[in-house]
A = this chain, B = another copy of it.
Amino acid sequence: MLLLRPIVRGLWVLQSTPRLAGVAWGSLPRACAAWTPSRAQGTWSAGHSSQRRKVTAVGALLGLGAGLAYGNHRRQATEAEPNAEAAPGAPYPVFTRQEVGQHRSLADRVWVTYGNEVFDITDFVELHPGGQSKILLAAGGALELLWAMYAVHSQEHVLGILRGYKVGELSPEEQSQPTPEDPYAGDPPRHPALKVNSLKPFNAEPPAELLTENYLTPNQLFFKRNHLPVPAVDPASYRLQVEGPRGRTLALSLHELKSRFPKHEVTATLQCAGNRRSEMNRVRPVKGLEWGVAALSTARWGGARLRDVLAHAGYPEEGQAGEQHVGFEGLDQDLSGAAYGASIPYSTAMGCHGDVLLAYEMNGEELPRDHGYPLRVGVPGVVGARNVKWLGRISVSREESQSHWQQNDYKGFSPSVDWDTVDFSTAPAIQELPVQSAITEPAPGAAVPPGELTVKGYAWSGGGRGVGRVDVSLDGGRTWHVAELKGEEQAPGRAWAWQLWQLTGPVAPGSTELDVVCKAVDASYNVQPDTVAPIWNLRGVLSNAWHRVHVTVVQD
């Protein structure tokens, strides 16, 4: 006899699958955290043996506070009566692992275990922010195995959701906990100064004030943005697969990449699409990692030119109809074996002055494991997400990469588009990034002396469009000063690296507070927008409004 009952009373807000298709794995912490206690209803049914009865699960989602909510997106849910038969306090039915294992598909219902409890998550599958295919990897087995990969699930509000689906318990003799191997156990050690946004996968940025201490960011402090565990690659057996134009696939060893192709070096800044997302999140909640201003860094990259390798494989200098995109696959894989993937336009790969690299060096050192050892793509001027790490395979195609990250993530939308209305096919995948700048000193809320104030920061633009000027204001944007720029000499159209800047300006006598602002102008005279709200987008990417830092003037 099956006994079902809602464990947690409450109402929740969820969304239908298409609206969640855009959530990247790396963005799960925020995707999940975005659910908040609010009003909506979900209907579900659970079955066992021949019995299948409709019940109502009403779950309270604890969330992480209103600041992480994302509005009134309601699941199109069927209203249902509370389950009269779910007698509170009644014992749960008991199952064996084998019985649970029979529920591995939507047709057979999807059951999972967590600890000693059994859950029928069939009706949650389509609501899973990470997509159906990922959650089905745990079907019929222990959730711990999946969650070890995607550690973002280890949060109380996620457990709250799960509890709403409980249908039974494991029989006492099977109540030993599965002890999954931690897929992140092999990740490399990291510098303790990094500000960690997500531990598994590892995502971290350096403290802002350290960021601009060096023109070339030390490798250990270079921001890290992983989507999956860091793969362990044996350099001796490593082969880069390059699909040739006539079906033949080249396999290039590291030694061949280093010896057959001239080594080319490029100083380039890499920026995450989500840099400065936290500012956008303060306007209205978005999905994604809570990056500050330091999800970008600069290095001197060394490697083979991508265009040399493509030419070696037989591709022409100017692509024809069949050669419109160059796709990359990483060796980092999820539980299903799917690799991280992205693509860039063929013209970028072949053009860009030959500065697109297959990089094996970073700041004169061997590429660190967190940055793609032994080989990564370096596409200067283009969003970090296309600079695929742990590069395993290159292909050339009429179409863009079909990966989740190319198709359903890393795109920009109007502020009017929300998760109810978003259609990822309508927006272009982000490639070149817009002009950007931010203040790294003083820190927000700092107490500064009267007299003069020194402001420091960085400025950069995508597409090789160097930064021509940075304007700094100490009065919220009413008056401006032109900052002094510091950076390597860069050829026009190939200005791939940032400019660091500095301004020492007068603090108006009697000031008690200052609203410090910066904005940059690039070589095409593009400028940053004044405010965040009009560029707000549901994924919190492309956050490049004027950067503002509020400080207090402390009289001696």
Contact = CB atoms under 8 A, between A and B. Distances in A.
Interface in A449-487: 462-463, 465, 468-469, 471, 477, 479-482
B416 A525 contact: no
Interface in A394-429: 412, 414-417, 427-428
A523 B480 contact: no
A173 B502 CA distance: 68
Contact of A482 (B417, B471, B524): B417
A82 to B, nearest CB: 38
A534 B548 CA distance: 14
A416 B523 contact: no
A463 B524 CA distance: 8
A319 to B, nearest CB: 11
A530 interface: yes
Contacts of A433: 524-525
B521 A468 contact: no
Interface residues of A, number: 45
- Say whether chain A's binding surface is mostly helix, strand, loop, or mixed: loop
A399 to B, nearest CB: 13
A11 to B, nearest CB: 28
Which among A414, A462, A493, A523 has the greatest number of chain B C-beta atoms within 10 A? A414
A535 B527 contact: yes
A492 interface: yes
A432 interface: yes
A333 interface: no
Nearest to A273: B525
A535 B351 CA distance: 32
A432 B523 contact: yes
Given A427-B469, A530-B530, A530-B534, A524 B414 contact: no
Interface of A: 345, 347-348, 351, 353, 412, 414-417, 427-428, 430-435, 462-463, 465, 468-469, 471, 477, 479-482, 492-493, 519, 521, 523-531, 534-535, 542
**Those 8 A-B pairs whose CB atoms lie nearest each other, nearest first:** A530-B530, A432-B524, A434-B526, A526-B526, A416-B480, A434-B525, A414-B482, A525-B542
